[in-house]
Amino acid sequence: MNTNAFFRSTMANNFATRKFFKRVASDMESQLKEWHKGYQVSVETWRIYSLCVQNGENTYQVALSKNLVDILQHEAPYALDRALWRGLVSQGLVLQKTQGNYLDTVLDAYDYEQQKLAL
């Protein structure tokens, strides 16, 4: 999956927190579905901002406070993505080989290289 840093920066600066979280979740779902069509992503944006990823019997969930989501949104255009992906990986989600620049842009070189070594 490819991403455009200019458009993401514009979204991070102009979207409300809830809308931005849902956009990030949508981008993550697109990446996951490139790997396997069976991935299902659900989002909760009430008191806690939660991203739940399911694939078969495997379920991964990351929950963040609205305040933290707001901070990450304004810290850097991909800081929220990075936090969510790291949370999923820490629970056992394995990143797969990908085409495009999305994960390279989102994850620090160390994070992504460590995951690629596992492939």
Span 81-118, pLDDT tens digits: 999 999 999 999 999 888 889 988 898 644 555 555 45
24: enclosing H helix or E strand: helix 17-35
Span 75-91, pLDDT tens digits: 999 999 999 999 999 99
Question: What is the reported pTM?
Answer: 0.89
Smallest CA-to-CA distance from 65 within 47, 84, 88, 43 is with 47
DSSP string, 26-94: HHHHHHHHHH-TT-EEEEEESSEEEEEEEETTEEEEEEEEHHHHHHHHHH-TTHHHHHHHHHHHHTTPP
